[in-house]
Amino acid sequence: MDLGTRLAELLSYDSSSPLIFSSGLFLYLFVGFLFVYHLLRRTITARLLYVVAFSLFFYYKSSGMYFLLLLLAATYDFMIGYSLYRTRTPWIRKMLVVMSVAINLAMLGYFKYTNFLVELSNQLFGEGFLAFQNIFLPVGISFFVFQSMSYTIDIYRRQLKPLESWLDYLFYLSFFPGLLAGPIVRARDFIPQIRRKVCITREMLGTAIFLLLTGLFKKAIISDYIALNFVDRIFDDPTQYSGVECLMGLYGYALQIYCDFSGYSDMAIGLALMMGFRFPKNFDAPYQSATITEFWRRWHISLSSWLRDYLYISLGGNRKGRTRTYLNLLLTMLLGGLWHGAAIRFILWGALHGIALAIHKMWLSVVPGAKLAGREMNPVMRLLGVIFTFHIVCLGWLVFRADSMQTAMELLHQIFSNFQTNIFPQLFAGYPLAMTLIVVGFLLHFVPQSIDRRVEGLITRTPMWGQVALLVVMIWCVMQIKSSDIQPFIYFQF
């Protein structure tokens, strides 16, 4: 195969091999991109055009021609936002923001929920009532749609002035580090950074290297390995395994999804930092939470805060009495579950968390001295709260991960009726590396933040050659431990 053909293959879209942060191709491309980016850092327009072009190429490599959908979203919301700001007539402003939300939700609904509605219709009215559609779900559509809606809603609320340049808005919406799986960056946080002078300090670069190292370790070493070599096997057929193995499989999935998603977020934040942009923190050791409310302040922070500000508060929040507050929490989490995907299991997952949040809210109102977060509890109550909250979250992950309710029930049946503690030594003997990574992953998760900051500071103070060496060693470790092709991030399907 000649060089031209090979290059054409690398630059063209391949649905079986989307471009992701942990792939070798992306790392090579990003090094070249970063070199040119810093050459253009003093010419604002050229820099913006360059980043937008790379971002669109990155999205093309992930979703093919659906990058045109991104251009469409950037165009209509830019125009609606501009009209919202210039219009003073209340009913016209309300009509414009409703139009923006409706178009975004319609686009999201078509790609994510068409076949779900077809399936429900066929169950209600008989098979063949409606035909399933061959619809490809564009990667990251849930994330950039929410970002775009926050822009027009903030302008409607007069919390943000619209951009005057379509290029700037396209830059915001398509910025590749957070394009495919967040964090969901608010326009009012990101827009002021767009035309700011590029200034990357040694501290920023060190933090970025630290985040890339931790992100690669979480995703490509812990998450991918335990998924392929242990977790997936348990969930494929729980009846073939003992209760101990099923429980460890459930714990393994809790670690897998955390390492997968927080690993992506770490890399996204690190890549953006290397370009002089700051993203909000998206995870804060969520399994250290001692209450379900605290968990949602630590897990997928950009989504939970988005749902709070644009959905929960819009529904009335806690301003209309206790009963309405509980209903608002339940509805918010139901819609949050539906955001993750068009399936009953996601709705049940959202319902579980909505009910848990409502019960905790009720508990706070009727029990004197009840605490909102674990940091406010005494050590013993905090420990008990962490254990209880973690298992509530794991119950949610069981519904979230299982292909069907039958699989979920089979796994629970094995745990409660076939739990054999004598299997533990065999489990570690049969899956030595997977079990080691699960134990190490949870131990690292519960390391105090002060130690994290010390390690980050140490890496920041390391000379440039040492930081590069650490990255090379991490990439080498990834290549040694992976047992198959690079695995897509879990949240790409949402």
Q: What is the pLDDT of residue 493?
A: 60
Is-catalytic flag, 340?
Answer: yes
> pLDDT at residue 6 above 80?
no
Residues 235, 422: Cα–Cα separation, whole Å: 22
Which stretch, 47-51, 210-214, 319-323, has highest mean pLDDT?
Answer: 47-51
**CA dist., res. 328 & res. 314, Å (int):** 9
Answer whether residue 291 shows pLDDT above 90.
yes
For residues 25-33, give the mean pLDDT.
83
**How high does pLDDT run on average in the chain?**
86
Residue in the block written with tokens 């165009």: 75
| Residue tagged 């509980």 (tokens) | 326
pLDDT of the residue at 470: 81
Residue type, 417: S
Is the pLDDT score of 332 beyond 70? yes
What pLDDT is recorded for position 7? 67
Residue 358: pLDDT band (50, 70, 90) is: very high
Residue type, 458: L
Whether the per-residue pLDDT at 25 is higher than 80: the answer is no
Task: Return the C-alpha torsion angle 75, 79, 84, 89, nearest 10.
Answer: -140
How far apart CA 351 and CA 332 sit, in angstroms, is: 9
What pLDDT does residue 174 have? 92
Q: Which stretch of DSSP H or E encloses residue 32? A: helix 24-39
Confidence of residue 32 (pLDDT cuts 50, 70, 90): confident
Helical H runs in 126-165?
Answer: 141-156
Percentage of the residues of the chain whose pLDDT score is greater than 70 = 91
Catalytic residue among 300, 340, 353, 360: 340
Helices (H), 275-343: 292-298, 301-307, 322-340
Q: Is the pTM of this model over 0.85?
A: yes
Whether residue 278 contacts residue 201, with contact meaning beta carbons closer than 8 Å, is answered with no
Domain ranges of the chain: 65-194, 202-290+377-493
Q: What's the average model confidence in pLDDT over 382-399?
A: 94
Query: What are the DSSP calls for 388-444, one per residue?
Result: HHHHHHHHHHHHHH-SSHHHHHHHHHHHHHS--GGGHHHHHHHSHHHHHHHHHHHHH
Torsion of CA 481, 486, 489, 493, to 10 degrees: -140
Least confident piece of the model among 101-105, 223-227, 391-395, 451-455: 451-455
Taking residues 268-287, what's their average pLDDT? Answer: 92
**Alpha-helical regions (H) of 175-290:** 187-194, 202-216, 224-226, 232-236, 243-274
Question: pLDDT value at position 455?
Answer: 84
